[in-house]
Amino acid sequence: MNRFKGMGLHAYASAAVVLFGLTVWPSAARALDCVPVTEDAIKQLFVDWNNALQTGNAGAVVALYTSDAILLPTLKSGPLIGPTDIVKYFKQEFLPKKPVGAIDGNHNIRIGCNMAVDAGLYTFTYGNGDDPTPARYTYVYRYDGGQWLIAHHHSSVRP
């Protein structure tokens, strides 16, 4: 009952390809569920985040992050993980400065399946009179619960 005895190398290779196809099919099916997004829509996410800063409401800012988001903040060591740590940072340390962010130059956006990355330079000015902070940023956005949210945010002072 050795059915495979007469199989040649090509038959084994074909079988391997079929088996591989069957194992990756679920991920291919998920890829069909990718939500289309444009670079302009990703740029708008920064505008929305910056507008939330202007409210002075840490809850409004943190609502733009996923529940498992990671923040490496500009003016504090991190990482800060999850809404409790992130809201504490914004409420106690960043929002009291009355920050306003502005992108310096171009956004560098890469779009994937239900994920997008925006990286570049920005500068924060402050309504409390602090000196401006030129910084580098990376936002990793994830389509989560029907909306684009920040899954990872890294901001660091420019050297």
Residue 98 CB partners (closer than 8 Å, separation 6+): 56, 126, 127, 128
- Residue 4: pLDDT band with limits 50, 70, 90: very low
User: What are the tokens at 84?
Assistant: 């409790």
Any long-range contacts for 31-40 (C-beta under 8 Å, 24+ apart)?
31/113, 33/114, 34/113, 34/114, 35/114, 35/143, 37/111, 37/116, 37/143, 37/148, 39/107, 39/109, 39/111
Question: Taking the CA of residue 41 as centre, how many other CA atoms within 13 Å lie in the half-sphere pointing to its CB?
Answer: 15
* pLDDT (0 to 100) of residue 78: 85
Averaged pLDDT of the chain:
86
pLDDT mean over 72-78: 88
User: What are the tokens at 55?
Assistant: 């409210």
* pLDDT (0 to 100) of residue 23: 41
* 103 alpha carbon, distance to own chain's centre: 17
Question: Worst-scoring range by mean pLDDT, 2-16, 49-63, 115-129, 134-148?
Answer: 2-16
pTM, two decimal places:
0.79
In this predicted structure, the answer to whether residue 24 has a pLDDT above a threshold of 90 is no
CB 61 within 8 A of CB 69: no
Q: Which CATH architecture has domain 39-157?
A: Roll (3.10)
Looking at the chain, the whole-number percentage of residues with pLDDT higher than 70 is 80
Question: Taking the CA of residue 34 as centre, how many other CA atoms within 13 Å lie in the half-sphere pointing to its CB?
Answer: 14
Closest CA to 77 of 157, 159, 158: 157
* pLDDT (0 to 100) of residue 127: 94
- Residue 76: pLDDT band with limits 50, 70, 90: confident
CB 46 within 8 A of CB 129: no
In this predicted structure, the answer to whether residue 20 has a pLDDT above a threshold of 90 is no
* pLDDT (0 to 100) of residue 68: 97
- Tell me phi and psi for residue 79, to 5 degrees: -85, 150
Domain range annotation of the chain: 1-33, 39-157
Closest CA to 59 of 32, 27, 25, 83: 83
Task: List, for residues 101-146, the tens digit of each pLDDT value.
Answer: 999 999 999 999 999 999 999 999 999 999 999 999 999 999 999 9
